[in-house]
Structure 1
């Protein structure tokens, strides 16, 4: 059996902190470089810059959330489920107040009546959910806690199993990045900033839960942190893609907002809520959901 050194001993802790500091400096340098290139190349498209910054903020929050794993012994199942519920609440409120409502307003501003606006946004919601369903069904991946999907042979292939897990987390973060980008391209800056802030807040406990899950299935603490940080990098990429697509034509705005909302709703219903109720802590998960929902609602209504 392979043994691992205790990360809390002075020598290993010093090595971990040095590696962590190096990773933070490297990540910070990449973000500064990306921002400089964005400012130089996209001077006439500020919504792309804003989307990149908003997505990077969410990725940074995910990275921040993973760090306690280097020092904490274990996160209780009850706390994990409460944090899952909190994230679900934030995403539910963000879907409604920051995406669906602006989508309806955008459709009406383009001349659609109440029924037509509802039909457009409703169809977009279903399309977003359908795409996530297809990706979840046909792309091989590993769920957060439930174990490896597909053939049992995957369990013997550590590298492949790692990337299956990372892909699953990235798939989970994709709708959040798209939502940020679409919001910056199609709504006012304050409302988009409220959405990015809310997603970033829920990404902190989400990053912690992801890293804890990786440790619980046998990965080292530093490896879990690195993979958790990597999983959040899809958000700035998705944010820029979402902003660029919506920037092509205002006609796409209600469709883009509804699509992002549908993708987020699918993740909440298919992944987060079932996981938060799986271990008998439904009350704590529901309380977390209510707090997350109210917090995101206040951010949206106060800032947007």
Structure 2
């Protein structure tokens, strides 16, 4: 089956991306889709009991999937259209993404029309098709969770690090909140486990803009928190302009390059945010190690799903081509 071949190709590309870094071959993306295709291959060929039970569960939910999945695809297609129209990507890439989104929109409209008219002959095909798309989206989420763990367990640097903490929400008074406090505590705990000699050489790079009503940026709030923890002022570098993860790495890159090669870059962020952070670090040519901070268990499901959707949009070309392949195969079987 094609899924086995795709898994093999993506895993080979992952190895190539790690060994020979290139802006075209991203190891995080290739690894994630390699795992996704491996799960898809196992799902359709394995008789292992957990996989069989999952297969049975999804087929038993076929009517629900028939209604829900088209709306998920519609939402994704509309989001992509909005991003591409406002975006500043290369023209050919922008047009190709818009074309993919329009194809998905047309298919969703066609299939929803079939459901409303209840065409008996095509209903079974649509149920099978949307079940397969649901399996693909589920496999992609599982691969996101797995790749996050792999990033977290990657080798640790030996020399004194430049510890970069990615910003997030602060309150109106400039005090760090929830996720950001956990990130800073994790960064400080990492700093404390280093030798005294390494601690003296460590620099903290706090990145985040989004000023409050009083003009206090995330970087300033983080700097104040670290100073209260006992970090020396000359060890803290502030990057106060970034509004999102992309800009965190884009605007921090000059500081990182200036810090020199004698320091290893260690990025501290929330656990659920590791995969997207690794994506942008690679995008800007930064070799980094990643440390994940825990998230409140109540907020974890929402944060993880939101992050998964963000990754889905980042890798939209591969995602939509995979979905189009599923659609074409299903239609050829009619």
Where on the TM-score scale, by shorter chain, does this alignment land: which range?
under 0.3
In terms of fraction of residues, the more strand-rich structure is: 2
TM-score (norm 2): 0.26
TM-score (norm 1): 0.28
The structure that has the greater radius of gyration is 2
> Which structure has the higher relative contact order (CA within 8 Å, separation 6+)?
1
In terms of fraction of residues, the more helix-rich structure is: 1
